[in-house]
Structure 1
Amino acid sequence: MKGILFTGRSIADAHTFGLLPAYLQDFLRTQNGVVAYFGGLHIRGCCHAPAWHDLGAAWNGEQAFWKRYATVRPTDIPFAQDCVGNQFLLRDDAVLFLDTETGELADLEVDFKHFLFGIEKFPLDALGMEPLRAFQQLGGRLEPGQLLSVYPPVCIQSATEKPQLRPLPALERLAYLADFYAQIKDLPDGQRLHFTLKA
């Protein structure tokens, strides 16, 4: 992997590690999670700190994805995320993509090994890194533990509107996305929305 900003320390959460499939255990033994592609990909590790890197918390903690998103099952493993906070999940041996704005779930039709191969070969497309590239071209940089905030949300942007991009702490960004999803999940397509910006 290229553009590595962070590599997890040794495995500290043996319980979560023991629940993982063998191929993910093998990966985490060599590096206990990683932030790569200059923030374009974050693979979580089996640790308790830092909190943003904690796979166990993302999978079974208070703010676990299956507790926030109706499409996610308790057995889905949220092993990674992209630069804006969309999630990559393992369901059995398949990698799924969770759009964290809309809650839509897509089967990427690859296993973990081929997921890694695909992002190594085509990182920009496989990881949807266009917002990160735009942010970098403006002189921005994501630090480990940060995700890119995109406003207005991608699911309601027009082709002519230029999004505002800024770094946010990862857990704050994920909480915002889950709250946004909860507010729009039952709205019909084409529904008009009114946003109130908080100070």
Structure 2
Amino acid sequence: MKSSLEQLLEQAEEVLAPQPPYLDPWVQRHAGNRLGELEDLYLRKNGWLAFNRALRVFSASRSPDDLNLNRWNDPRLWRDTYGDLAEGVLFFADDIFGGQFCIKDSKIYAFDPETAALEWLADDLEGWATVILDDSDYWTGRPLGAAWQEKNGVLEPTQRLIPTLLFTLQGEYTVDNLTAKDAVTGMQIRGPIAQEIHGLPDGTRIRFVITD
């Protein structure tokens, strides 16, 4: 019987990097007890897109130009816009909206880009794959991503769909409330907002003042 990771890998529609994987020392350190699992995953397929490009597992390469695992976790790329809310977290995949899947303290979490809230998903990558397969539409955003691409064209591997009105601020999960943006830009936009609203109780009234 195939493992959940093997079944998830079979869903890959496009492999992102043909070369052997490279995990830099920072990534290796923050992978913790999941390092062996992560290395095995990348040896099988080095980064990939699945579920109509709704799930993206970052490739692991040495290239400074690719949007790969090592570069994605560079504090200067977008993480610094979240302050210490992204501290100690290794981001390895995301959904169609840029919602992150990550490793922290050797466990697997979902990271909400709008609030920086962490939600425990599993203790290892096999458990994470099981969660994704059990409800891939929910965890990847595939239905809305497929509808948006049918109307507007296929997303580039470096793009995610960002809500015009944030979901946290009662933005609707509709095609009309989504726009394709570079994934880095999408995180940079939401990082400062996450710092402002992280940990606030549901229903808290929020007022943003936009200045030049």
TM-score per shorter chain, which class? 0.7 to 0.9
Partner of 1:114: 127
Matched, 1:45 2:59: yes
Partner of 1:132: 145
Residues 84-125 of structure 1 deviation map (CA, whole Å, 9 limit, x = unaligned):
111111124321111010111111135211212332343102
Q: How does 1:5-84 map to 2 (within 5 A)?
A: 5-11=14-20, 13-16=22-25, 18-19=28-29, 20=31, 21-49=35-63, 51=65, 53-63=67-77, 65=79, 68-74=82-88, 76-84=89-97
State percent identity of aligned pairs. Answer: 19
Structure number with higher relative contact order (C-alpha < 8 Å, ≥ 6 residues apart): 2
Indicate the SS of the match to 2:156.
coil
Deviates more, 1:132-141 or 1:149-158: 132-141
The 3 A distance-change label for structure 1 pair 135 and 29 is same
Cα pair distance change 1:180/1:2, threshold 3 Å: same
Q: Give the letter aligned to residue 16 of structure 2.
A: T
RMSD (Å), alpha carbons: 3.2
Shifted more, 63-72 versus 84-93: the winner is 63-72
Higher helix fraction: Structure 1 or Structure 2? 2
| CA deviation profile, 1:138-177 (whole Å, cap 9, x unmatched) | 3442121111121100111256987522211111112112
1:68 Cα deviation from its structure 2 partner: 2.0
For the Cα contact (< 8 Å) 1:35–1:42, is it kept in 2?
A: yes
Residue aligned with 2:84, SS: coil
CA contact (8 A) 2:52 2:142 kept: no
Secondary structure at the residue paired with 2:102? Answer: strand
With normalisation by structure 1, the TM-score equals 0.80
One-letter amino acid of the structure 1 residue matched with residue 18 of structure 2: R
1:164 corresponds to 2:206: no
Which amino acid letter does the alignment assign opposite residue 7 of structure 1? L
Match of 1:86 among 66, 79, 99: 99
CA distance in structure 2 between the partners assigned to 1:18 and 1:102 by the alignment? 26
Residue 164 and residue 196 in structure 1: after superposition, are their counterparts in 2 closer, same or farther (change >3 A)? farther
TM-score (norm 2): 0.75
Q: Count residues in correspondence.
A: 197
For 2:110 and 2:155, the matched residues in 1 are separated by: 22
Tell me if structure 2 keeps the 8 A contact 1:47–1:53: no
Q: Is the alpha carbon distance of 1:94 and 1:104 closer, same or farther for their aligned partners in structure 2, counting shifts above 3 Å?
A: same
Deviations 1:125-148 (A, max 9, x none): 232334313413534421211111
